[in-house]
Structure 1
Amino acid sequence: MKLIYDQNYNYNLGVLKYLHPFDGEKFKRVMAELQDVVVDKLAPLKAINLNVVDEYLNELMRLKIRDEVFIFRALEVPKIPFVGFDFLDKKILTPMRLAVAGTLLGAEKALESGEIMWNLSGGFHHASNLNMEGFCIYNDIGISYQQLRKNGKLSETDKVLIIDVDAHHGNGNAYSFKDNENVHLLDVYNEDIYPTSVFTRNRVNFPVPLKSGVEGCEYLEKLTQALELITGNYALAFVIAGTDVLAVDKLGGFKLKVEDVAKREKIILSHLKTLEIPTVVTGGGGYSKQSAAAIAAAIKACSTL
């Protein structure tokens, strides 16, 4: 397994950090917890080019994604008069585009080597080519898939699997791939919370909707049952490993512990490795001070895979 990280993944949000529960600097805390763990590391050379992003977006979204009014809305914080697009681009959008490059790098390396690649950031599963929401501006998996098809590393008929274990349903991915029968989605999510789109929930091939308050034992049992439906006929898998499933998280509504998250990732990655599916893990959401500890524990649990 190889880890993908750049110190510029971290969001230096300034005053904005008081307006949203996302821990923008958790990535460096994960690295601090991994000081004694031997894991090969890679970093994207630069943020994904805006021209590549534009290729993915529809015409209206190309305009919206450069407008701070729409960006504030997607970041779920009120518009701040003295904060303009340049500040947002430097502090938030560029780190996010760097994360997109990390997901693409991970996918390319996974396809080349068959190894598990773990991108600490990314997993922006609420964004699509038509919308940005839920603290997700760019759909890194959608953009990566587009580039892999463009550069010939995936063919039109190659099957791709997205396993989403963030507490929130991945509506952006479901919408982005709504017409692509070769992209299959397994989504374990809290059915009681945002996003509640019936259309995108119905797009999921292997849905695992759970109620608020689910604890680790039931969660892992339902996940394992869903994974048993997955066969090895996939060229590539993406995993969105959100830590907002933790009991201390204010937004996820589940009651998992740090050790449950570590078990979850090991169950998923062990299954995918057994099926010999090249895999890239992405960060997803996580809105508690335990998020970094859970990610680090999961990486430690999976470091020998």
Structure 2
Amino acid sequence: MPQPRHGTYTTWQFLAPIQNNSAASPPIKSFANLHLLHLLQSINNAFSGTTMGTPSSTNRDSSNATTSESGGVESERRNRILSSKLYFDVHASKVPLIYSSSYDIAFLGIEKMHPFDSSKWGRICRFLIAEGLLDKKHIVEPLEAKKEDLLVVHSESYLDSLKSSSIVSTIVEVPPVAVLPNCLVDKHVLYPFRKQVGGTILAAKLAKEQGWAINVGGGFHHCSAEKGGGFCAYADITLCIYFAFVRLNISRVMIIDLDAHQGNGHEKDFSDDRRVYILDMYNPDIYPFDYEARRYINQKVEVASGTTTSEYLSRLDGALKVAAGAFDPELIIYNAGTDVLDGDPLGRLKISPNGIAARDEKVFMFARERDIPLVMLTSGGYMKSSAKVIADSITNLAKKSLISMESVQDITIT
């Protein structure tokens, strides 16, 4: 298990929006200087005075007080979870697919200033409905994660920092957001995120009840308890797991993070928590370059830029086999980013659409064979084609009987 972390890591701040995704002006070039930026940051961190020696006598003398304080924090966290309204009973006419029209971000054109398709969540559902796989009335709509819910993981100071439009602009990597009134930023940017957080948290309850659940949004794996970044303002994965510990009486959770980017947020949050096993398969050549957080990954699978479908799936097979022998989870959180797609400007891998479907099928089969509830989150994906690829993969899961889009009510009537 990874050792407790020491010091802090400062993530990069995005310097300019991407204006053009055309082949003539590849977005990758706009990010070419980031590798150098991170190398400079690493050098700066090395000279920041952070030490990794043994605890001082002062620290040892204060251990009892620290233990008492920790107990108080855990008690407060538990009380917040137990009083939350984010877990609610879902009608039998619903399927465990969670979405709200509030997920999509479209305001004054800011959605065009970042390569992320911030309307992909609605497009996924529209594709599923058009294909006849999903009935709109069967979709589960989550509640918004309120401040008391977010305080389960985040500090008051972090949540207060989001009242600064400048800070939010850094997190979502859209500089013009910095000059907008914060009330508008909260309504049109942060509120959609909070709805998605509510969806991720609820998904664990539905997965425990029905074997699986898909939150069409969520997967904000770059956000930790104290720091957002990479288009991730709230730590929904961490929140989901803490809620599951308390409300579902679950004691062991496996995170399978297959987004192209390293999931440094949840890795820092569970750096010394043996209840959580992290399998992270990511491209080490791209953001976030969080070398500290990499030390907390239980199974680190690095796939270099240009990795093809066959190699990727082979590496995944091996990783799942290792995970099966290393840990026995009661819940799986599957972060299913599609930024691994061939042509994605930020992921830089070469996985085909069929490869995405095969990848998702392997993870769902892994859970099904072991009778482990699984939560799927859509996470990253920076091309317009991502929504259709996700919808096609969900359709494939249904065809392979790994999920069912028939509601409990429909099955009973049949």
Is the TM value for this pair above 0.5? Answer: yes
- Counterpart-to-counterpart distance in 2, 1:109 and 1:27: 19
Task: Report the equivalent of 2:309.
Answer: 216
Does the CA contact (< 8 Å) of 2:169 and 2:178 recur in 1? no
| Deviation readout 1:18-69 (Å, 9 max, x if unpaired) | 3111111111211221123434743234211122112311243122122211
1:254-294 residue CA offsets vs partner (Å, 9 max, x unmatched)? 01111111111001111111011100000110110111011
Could you tell me which residue of structure 1 aligns to residue 166 of structure 2? 69
Which of 206, 228, 237 is the aligned partner of 1:141? 237
The alignment's TM-score, normalised by the length of structure 2, stands at: 0.70
What is aligned with 1:126?
222
Does 1:268 find its partner at 2:386?
A: no
Give the match for residue 13 of structure 1.
107
Could you list the runs of 5+ residues in structure 1 that have no partner in the other structure? none
Larger deviation, residues 71-80 vs 40-49: 40-49
Structure 1 vs Structure 2 CA RMSD = 1.6
Q: For residues 80 and 169 of structure 1, do their structure 2 counterparts lie closer, same or farther at Cα, with a shift above 3 Å needed?
A: closer
Aligned equivalents of 1:284, 1:264: Cα separation in 2: 15
Structure 1: which amino acid aligns with 2:266? Answer: N
C-alpha contact 1:248 1:290 (8 A) present in aligned 2: no
SS of residue paired to 2:272: coil
Q: 2:168, 2:178 within 8 Å by CA — same for their partners in 1?
A: no
* Match in the other structure for 1:110: 207
Contact 2:98 2:199 in 1 (8 A): yes
Q: Secondary structure of 1:242's partner? A: coil
Contact persistence 2:284–2:304 (CA under 8 A)? yes
1:99 aligns with 2:214: no
Partner of 1:32: 126
Shift of 1:88: 1.5
Larger CA deviation: 179-188 vs 53-62: 53-62
Quote how far apart the aligned CAs of 1:238 are: 0.3
Provide the residue aligned with 2:374 in structure 1: 279
Contact 1:44 / 1:101 at 8 angstroms: preserved in 2?
Answer: no
- Percent sequence identity is 33
**Which runs of structure 2 are paired with 1:74-93 in the superposition (5 Å)?**
74-80=171-177, 82-93=179-190
Pick one of 348, 353, 357 that aligns with 1:253.
348
CA distance in 2, matches of 1:105, 1:89: 22
- In the TM superposition, 1:234-249 aligns within 5 A as 234-249=329-344
Question: Is contact 2:216–2:377 with CA below 8 Å preserved after alignment?
Answer: yes
In 2: Cα distance, 1:80 partner to 1:121 partner: 22
Task: Output the CA distance in 2 between the equivalents of 1:33 and 1:18.
Answer: 21
TM superposition shift of 1:9: 1.2
Q: Distance in 2 between matches of 1:2 and 1:130?
A: 31
The answer as to whether partners of 2:96 and 2:140 remain within 8 angstroms in 1 is: no
Higher mean alpha-carbon deviation, 74-83 vs 132-141, is at: 74-83
Contact 2:105 2:189 in 1 (8 A): yes
Secondary structure at 1:163 match in 2: strand
How many residue pairs match? The answer is 301
Does the 8 A contact of 1:258 with 1:293 survive in 2?
no
What are the Cα deviations for residues 69-118 of structure 1, in whole angstroms up to 9, with x where unaligned?
111101112144641211111112111111111111110111223x1111
Quote the Cα distance in structure 1 between the aligned partners of 2:117 and 2:174: 14
Alignment correspondent of 1:294: 389
The answer to whether the 8 A contact 1:2-1:39 is kept is no
Equivalent in the alignment of 2:154? 57
Farther off after superposition, 15-24 or 239-248: 15-24
Greater strand percent: which structure? 1
Q: Do the aligned residues in 1 keep the contact of 2:165 with 2:177 (CA within 8 Å)?
A: no
